[in-house]
Amino acid sequence: MLLDRVLHPAVLFLFAVGFLPTAVAKPKDAILLSDVQSLTLRADRQTTHRRVPAAPQLKCVSHRSVCGLHKVDVMRCTNQGSSYGDEDIQWSCTASLPPELKLGSTEVVCEGYSSPQDPYVLKGSCGVEYKLILTDEGHRRYPDLGGGGGSSGDGSLPTWVFWVFFTVVVVIIVGTTTRMTEATAASAAVGVLGAGLAVPALLGLTPAPALALDTKAPALVQPADVEPL
């Protein structure tokens, strides 16, 4: 029947639409950061992971000498709302620190569920990379550490070593430039002299012979004998 042929596809379409939200629904461990009001991160915990390796929930990215002054055990970050996108969340993080240190920049890093651009993130995958900065009291107590805002690493050269290296490089550059300038000037002088000698030859002129100078002394004329009157 014609009615059966018309209703059958329509019923199948409605049946498929009814199950569509279930088919495309995200798993329970995929969440939106906009739905997260706060995060509590701990130094002795690892992030959950799905596409990338696990990482510490807390990571100090200041210079190693500054990070070594104090270990942050717990950090709490609060959702302060989004900026230009619903999932571009601004976080405010706090931690207990000694008077010599204060919390610098913080960055909450989470794993996108399906890809780095996925607005859904893996639940439990968030961690914080933070910087520690010396306070005025910290500068007085640790004068050799500087600002403490640099990136982490195995260590950095002292300031005086940098300036010595910089001075040596400048001296080498200046010396090399001076020698090159002198060599260029000498080459130019030789070129001018060669051009001066080559002009007569190009014009078909024969250089005048050099005057020969008689350096011999004139012979003395002996007076003739004069007879006495």
Classify residue 20: in a domain, yes or no: no
CA 152 to chain centre: 14
How far is 229 from 223, CA to CA, in rounded Å? Answer: 17
How does pLDDT run across 181-225, given as a tens digit for each residue?
Answer: 777 776 666 555 555 555 455 555 555 555 555 555 555 555 555
pLDDT higher than threshold 60 for residue 128: yes
pLDDT at 66: 96
pLDDT above 90 covers a percentage of the chain that reads 48
77 torsion bin: left (phi>0), alpha (psi -120 to 50), beta (else): beta
Residue 171 confidence (pLDDT): 81
The reported pLDDT for the residue numbered 131 is 98
pTM across the whole model: 0.57
**Domain membership flag for residue 36:** yes
Q: Binning pLDDT at 50, 70 and 90, where does residue 130 land?
A: very high
Instruction: Tell me what pLDDT residue 44 has.
Output: 96
Task: pLDDT band for 25, please (50, 70, 90 cuts).
Answer: confident
| Residue-level pLDDT at 164 | 74
Provide the pairing of β-strand 127-134 with 58-60. parallel
> Is residue 202 included in any domain, yes or no?
no
In this prediction, residue 156 has a pLDDT band, given cuts at 50, 70 and 90, of very low
Beta bridge partners, 60, equal 130
Do the domain assignments include residue 126? yes
pLDDT band at 180 (very low <50, low <70, confident <90, very high): confident
Residue 18 lies in a domain: no
Phi, psi angles (nearest 5°) of residue 109? -120, 125
Number of domains in the chain: 1
At 102 the pLDDT is: 97
The most confident of the ranges 18-27, 49-58, 216-225 is 49-58
Contacts of 223 (CB under 8 A, 6+ apart): none
Q: Which domain holds residue 110?
A: 30-145
**Residues in Cβ contact with 96 at an 8 Å cutoff, skipping those fewer than 6 apart:** 72, 73, 74
Asked if the structure places residue 21 within a domain, the reply is: no
